[in-house]
């Protein structure tokens, strides 16, 4: 195995680890928001078809994902 192949594996493993870490942080952040809101977000979005709440949750997830991405890549 050459040095070039070893470096490539290093970057692939780092990408996988950072991806899993980022997804885990995103899930934990969503779980925290789910706990501090008065209603069950998932029930409101799926059963009640609350489009405004779905948009707010999507915006929250995008914002947290951007923050996590910036923190990991800097």
Encode pLDDT of 37-49 as tens digits.
888 888 888 999 9
Domain assignment of residue 33, yes or no: yes
Residues 12-21: tens digit of each pLDDT: 788 788 888 8
User: Would 64 be classed as within a structural domain?
Assistant: yes
Question: Which residues constitute the domain of residue 44?
Answer: 22-73
CA distance 19 to 17: 5
In a domain, 39, yes or no: yes
How many structural domains does the chain have?
1
**Contacts with 34 (C-beta within 8 Å, 6 or more apart), sequence order:** 40, 41, 42
Q: How far apart are CA 25 and CA 70, in angstroms?
A: 13
Residue 49 has which token pair? Answer: 């078809």
Using 50, 70 and 90 to split pLDDT, how confident is the model at 11?
Answer: confident
Single out the residue of 73, 63, 5, 72 nearest to residue 30, CA to CA.
63
């Amino acid at each position: 195995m050459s040095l070039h192949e070893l470096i490539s594996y290093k970057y692939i493993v780092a990408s996988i680890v950072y991806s899993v870490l980022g997804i885990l942080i995103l899930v934990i952040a969503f779980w925290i928001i789910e706990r501090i809101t008065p209603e069950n977000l998932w029930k409101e979005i799926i059963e009640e078809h609350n489009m405004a709440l779905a948009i707010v949750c999507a915006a929250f997830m995008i914002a947290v994902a951007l923050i996590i991405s910036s923190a990991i890549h800097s």
